[in-house]
Structure 1
Amino acid sequence: MTTRTPTCRAALVAATGLASLVLAACGGGGGAGGVRAGHGSSANPSASTATAHNAQDVAFAQGMIPHHQQALEMARLADGRASSARVKDLAARIEKAQDPEIRTMTGWLKTWGAQVPMAGTDRSGHAGMSGMSDMMSDDDMAALKKAGGKDFDTMFLSLMVDHHQGAVAMATTEKRKGEYGPAKGMAGGIVSAQNAEIKEMKQLLGEGGSKG
């Protein structure tokens, strides 16, 4: 036992030394990993950069939500009033496209901690906003609700052309001045889709607006 004890102690010392080296090496690797994690966390700012937005993005969403809401209000009148199948189809497409966009923009504003315009917001509150002058007045909306048949078709198309032109102007500003990628992407889609619909509506107006 007395001859094995020094040997065991020597082995223990050697093992301890080896363990220290291993731990030091692991510690060094952990340090490198820590630096990488730091860079990985600095990737969080990159991820934040992906969600970065500016005042224009907020203004775009806050302005476009009530604008879209009014377009939906107009479009939903077509089913029981329009005489043209093409006008009804156009109204249905407008509703299908713009309703999800309202939900998406509402989500952005909530994420950004910005105020979300409520449905039925007083339209006069948007009078000073860029591109909002095309919003229908309460008198226009009342007249549209009272119209029917070909008169409705013509009034609906004329008012919606103006409405779309305002949306295109707002979206063009967002494309130029916005920072948030998804908002700029939506703006580009609005410009393309609504310019195409403006062309279609002008053609329908030229045909009398009510040919099925």
Structure 2
Amino acid sequence: MWSLRSPRARFVLSAAAVSGVLVLAGCSDNSSGGGHDMSQMSNNTSGTTTAAVEANAFNNADVMFLQMMYPHHAQAVEMANMVEGRSTNPQVLDLAKNIAAAQGPEMEQMTALLAQRGMAVPSTDASGGMSGMNHGGTSAPANGTMSGMMTPEQMTELAGKSGADFDTAWLNMMIEHHTGAIEMAQTELADGENADAKQLATDIVGAQQAEITTMTALLPQN
């Protein structure tokens, strides 16, 4: 056996001490790294949870926006469908087709968002009016009470026009209609919570403002 005082024994003990220090240092590093990983994981989880809550949030402003914008879009589509057979202006004809093509799918999106949350989906009659219940269980506003909506009398008068007279009336009415839609969308952006509904509102503002610019430029030609 080695004596504790022998050089060889002292060397073995020193080596063991160094190994122990290295092991402890390694554990300390791993523990520190693990703490960083856990902190990062916690932050990521918190961010994901917040995003999910924002995406699923749904308040009264969201419901009102979707239930009101649906018939508003329906009337715009009806007005767009009036153009063929009454106008010979290719720019007006193309614009009407674009409006119908854009707003039809948006109506489907509104329906889906309301249905997902068990909210009443409004229906429209042939003149662009609306029937249905809002989130509070009361009757939804009738045709002509929403911003930019045309009355049945205005729609009938428009249907009786043709040629340049129709183009001028249609452009003026659609500009007013689009302006009302933008106002409704801006209210949603200010008061709504649902991410999908607010994105839809953003899309409506951008698209319809561009169409207003186009329609305003077309008016002097008629």
Q: Give the TM-score normalised by structure 2.
A: 0.69
Once the two structures are TM-superposed, the CA of residue 104 in structure 1 deviates from its matched residue by 0.3
Once the two structures are TM-superposed, the CA of residue 147 in structure 1 deviates from its matched residue by 1.0
Residue identity opposite 1:196 in structure 2:
A
Match of 1:92? Answer: 97
Taking the aligned partners of 1:68 and 1:108, their CA distance within structure 2 comes to 15
Match of 1:80? Answer: 85
Taking the aligned partners of 2:120 and 2:130, their CA distance within structure 1 comes to 16
| Pick aligned residue for 1:106 from 103, 108, 111 | 111
| Pick aligned residue for 2:190 from 176, 195, 198 | 176
Runs of 4+ in 1 over 3 A off after TM superposition: 43-49, 121-125
Once the two structures are TM-superposed, the CA of residue 47 in structure 1 deviates from its matched residue by 3.5
Which of 1 and 2 has higher RCO (CA within 8 Å, sep 6+)? 1
The higher radius of gyration belongs to 2
Match of 1:126? Answer: 141
| Pick aligned residue for 2:152 from 131, 138, 144 | 138
Taking the aligned partners of 1:59 and 1:93, their CA distance within structure 2 comes to 26
Q: Go from structure 1 to structure 2 and tell me whether the alpha carbon gap of 1:195 and 1:118 turns closer, same or farther (over 3 Å shift).
A: same
Once the two structures are TM-superposed, the CA of residue 126 in structure 1 deviates from its matched residue by 2.4
**8 Å CA contact 1:168, 1:191 repeated in 2:** yes
Taking the aligned partners of 1:177 and 1:128, their CA distance within structure 2 comes to 23
Structure 1 unaligned residues grouped into runs of 5+ = 1-35
Q: Go from structure 1 to structure 2 and tell me whether the alpha carbon gap of 1:207 and 1:56 turns closer, same or farther (over 3 Å shift).
A: same
Q: Go from structure 1 to structure 2 and tell me whether the alpha carbon gap of 1:156 and 1:95 turns closer, same or farther (over 3 Å shift).
A: same
Taking the aligned partners of 2:194 and 2:176, their CA distance within structure 1 comes to 27
**8 Å CA contact 1:127, 1:133 repeated in 2:** no
Match of 2:163? Answer: 149
1:191 equivalenced with 2:179 (yes/no): no
**8 Å CA contact 2:56, 2:194 repeated in 1:** yes
Once the two structures are TM-superposed, the CA of residue 123 in structure 1 deviates from its matched residue by 5.3
Higher helix share: 1
Structure 2 unaligned residues grouped into runs of 5+ = 1-40, 132-139
Residue 84 of structure 2 aligns to a residue whose secondary structure is helix
**8 Å CA contact 2:129, 2:143 repeated in 1:** no
1:204 equivalenced with 2:218 (yes/no): yes
Taking the aligned partners of 1:45 and 1:199, their CA distance within structure 2 comes to 38
Aligned residues: 170
**8 Å CA contact 2:54, 2:195 repeated in 1:** no
**8 Å CA contact 1:75, 1:92 repeated in 2:** yes
Once the two structures are TM-superposed, the CA of residue 102 in structure 1 deviates from its matched residue by 0.1
**8 Å CA contact 1:75, 1:91 repeated in 2:** yes
Residue identity opposite 1:201 in structure 2:
M
Compute the RMSD of aligned alpha carbons: 2.7
| Pick aligned residue for 1:116 from 121, 135, 140 | 121
